[in-house]
Amino acid sequence: MSNPFFNDFDTPFGTVPFDKVSNEHYLPALEEAMKRHKEEIEAIKNNTDEPSFENVIEAFERSGAMLGSVSAVFFNLNSANTNDEMTEIAKEFSPKLTSHSNSIRLDEGLFAKVKGVYDKKESLDLTLEQTTLLEKFYKDFVRNGALLNEEQKTAVKSIDEELSKLGVQFSDNILKETNEFMMILDSVEDLDGLPEGAIEAAAMTAKEKGHEGKWVITLDYPSYIPFVTYAKNRSLREKLAKAMGTRGCKGNERDNKEIVKRIATLRHERAQILGYNTHADFTLEQRMALKADNVFNLLNDLKDKAFPAAQDHINEVKEFAKKLDGIEDLQSWDYAYYFEKLKKEKYSIDDEMLKPYFKLENVIDGVFKVANKLFGLTFEERTDIPKYHEDVITYEVKDADGNHVSIFYGDYFPRPSKRGGAWMTLFREQHMDGSTDVRPHVANVCNFTKPTDSKPSLLTFNEVTTLFHEFGHGLHGMLSKCKYETLAGTNVFWDFVELPSQILENWAFEKECLDLFAKHYETGELIPAELVEKLKASANFGEGRATLRQLSFALLDMSWHSKNPSSISNVAEHEEEATSGVRLLPKVEGTCTSTAFSHIFAGGYSAGYYSYKWAEVLDADAFEVFKNNGIFDKKTADSFRENILERGGTEHPMELYKKFRGQEPTPDALLRRGGLL
């Protein structure tokens, strides 16, 4: 059978022919792609013409197209639709790819060509985008060891290969631990307090898993969150929360404690070889934050502002739990339950009142309407585009003049083959091929509650904002107008990449926006204005505690990466020390955050988790412009599109931000929005 990766895809818009791709294709395609890439590199090195931007930098930028395609398909599917065979392939695929990448990034002949162009950049009359690309390539080589001696290069290469294996193992352990846990309930009393939809979903899960007539709760968020939020049975909430909190740290064959310590130590060693004090110093050099001190300053400033409000809030929840049920020792598995009850008492609102207005299909339509009102985009479902799972919906995106903009894949429901969480990804990045604008293929992957026999998929408001968030990333990918793939779309500094996603969440709180899609799934009634007012009033309830929770993740991340981690012997004790200053509830014995912290140990956010808070500062500051001018103001939307969404990483993000905003951001808008100022 022919390998679909060996030729251009003969499909609408050159989309991936998922119906023709199978596991047996990946490794042969990887070998062929690496072979072709090496030939392209050799051609650059052997070119006898004077090194120029065109014959070195642009030629290097164009090289490896097949490799990019094979890798994108494999890694995206290994996250969104994997199986045991793919997991095994990944253990071979990842190290081979890492080894290949290293062989290019440590190639002295290629680096000599790049350096030759870099050293004369002042005389080359380059555009801003070309200068950025040249500087990025040069820095990437240096940051990957091009200036090291042979012994050091070998050490970096060895570290990178081990890290790629450890990352795959970390993810596999968490996916399997998540999938293996089932809380089987056979008494209807155990469901007391749960919303009807959650009970139906648990019955459906039980049927799928061979326990018909019972109810099954899993660690997938659409199952886990409703249970810890609404289930009256405290001991079952405890059991579920402990199962979630002990993933990767049970001392069994899936234990990630040694993996976590090894990953952190290897990253530190690598940074030191490259001349940096720590992994954080290495990472932050290419972030808006620039250095660890700036990160800690932001985190500590937010902590000082949020802590008093958070402490008052926790005391209020404790008092409420004591008054309601005689709870003397509020634990982490109690917080969501009493938080939700107290919120309902104070604001006469809870998720169950809102969910009927947030049918998934309506929310998707709503976010499309927002994109239309802001940027003139339309989304047309296409049934002729191959997809990797039957749940996926495929769309063609067009602009206001009917021109093709992008392909968009929506993948919204959990399944055993999909990792938890929500993310945006691409199967093809936007770029120019000569005079042809090659348009992107973008995907949003989420884990929302599935429809049941009697109810459609109804989202919590938190899930609504998640959908808006990932779609914001999607717009960043879709609307890209860059020349070079390396700088296009979401290829920006990691503490800037969350701005387009987080700013879009703001629209979900506005009545003018909600009226586009938030209608009752049975009656068609628009969400009442008073409910929106309650939603906004309650949005800041617990904001101090929510801020501290995010800060605890960011501080934990920095604790692993801003100093030498080799002395850390006990992961749990290290966590306790790193996060004690922002903890408001007792630490649960036997649980660990690090061992399941995929963002930093398997997802690229190492020394970068703070960027969610950094981007919140940006998004609150930027959204104030829309609030002042009108949330669908065309002029403001055009400016945001032209200066942020279209520009990718073609210029330093602070310069792009100032072109939109007219000034640098301050945290004031964020603190105002959160009621903390």
Q: How far is CA 458 from CA 23, 158, 193, 222, 455, in A?
A: 34, 48, 18, 11, 8
Q: Which residues pair with 437 in a beta bridge?
A: 432
CB under 8 Å to 465, separation ≥6 — which residues? 505, 508
Q: How far is CA 244 from CA 177, 180, 350, in A?
A: 9, 12, 24
* Amino acid 1: pLDDT: 62
* Amino acid 352: pLDDT: 87
CB under 8 Å to 584, separation ≥6 — which residues? 310, 311, 314, 545, 548
Q: Categorise residue 165: left if φ over 0, alpha if ψ from -120 to 50, beta otherwise.
A: alpha
What dotted CATH number matches 4-105+107-147? 1.20.1050.40
Model's pTM, two decimal places?
A: 0.87
d(CA 563, CA 279): 8
d(CA 460, CA 224): 13
* Amino acid 190: pLDDT: 97
- Reported as type and span, the H/E element at residue 297 is helix 292-325
DSSP-based three-state secondary structure for 398: strand
**Token couple for 204:** 């459906």
d(CA 551, CA 307): 11
Q: How far is CA 465 from CA 364, 446, 471, 514, in A?
A: 11, 12, 10, 12
**Which residue ranges of the chain lie beneath pLDDT 50?**
none
d(CA 362, CA 351): 17
What value, to the nearest 5°, has the Cα angle with vertex 291 and ends 285 and 296? Answer: 145
**Token couple for 126:** 């380059």
**Token couple for 144:** 């990957």
344, 195 Cβ separation under 8 angstroms: no
257-347+543-607 and 356-528 have identical folds = yes
**Token couple for 94:** 């990842």
Q: What is the DSSP string of 223-251?
A: HHHHHHHH---HHHHHHHHHHHHTTT-SS
Domain positions in the chain are 4-105+107-147, 181-245, 257-347+543-607, 356-528
Q: Which residues pair with 512 in a beta bridge?
A: none
Q: How far is CA 182 from CA 205, 423, 589, in A?
A: 10, 25, 21
Q: How far is CA 263 from CA 6, 243, 268, 282, 570, in A?
A: 35, 24, 9, 15, 15
Active-site residues, by number, are 470
CATH architecture of 257-347+543-607: Orthogonal Bundle (1.10)
**Token couple for 647:** 């520009």
DSSP-based three-state secondary structure for 388: coil
The conformation of residue 390, written as its DSSP 8-state character, comes to: T
Burial class (CB in 10 A: 0-12, 13-18, 19+), 235: exposed
DSSP-based three-state secondary structure for 458: strand
- Reported as type and span, the H/E element at residue 407 is strand 404-411
d(CA 5, CA 411): 23
d(CA 283, CA 271): 9
How many C-beta atoms surround the C-beta of residue 604 within 10 A? Answer: 11
* Amino acid 148: pLDDT: 94
d(CA 427, CA 489): 12
CB under 8 Å to 497, separation ≥6 — which residues? 473, 476, 490, 611, 615
349, 343 Cβ separation under 8 angstroms: yes
Q: What is the DSSP string of 25-54?
A: GHHHHHHHHHHHHHHHHHHHHH--SPP-II
The conformation of residue 586, written as its DSSP 8-state character, comes to: P
Q: Which residues pair with 395 in a beta bridge?
A: 381, 408
615, 496 Cβ separation under 8 angstroms: yes
148, 273 Cβ separation under 8 angstroms: yes
d(CA 351, CA 422): 20
* Amino acid 186: pLDDT: 95
* Amino acid 668: pLDDT: 87
User: Is 356-528 assigned to CATH 1.10.150.530?
Assistant: no
d(CA 512, CA 491): 32
How many C-beta atoms surround the C-beta of residue 449 within 10 A? Answer: 27
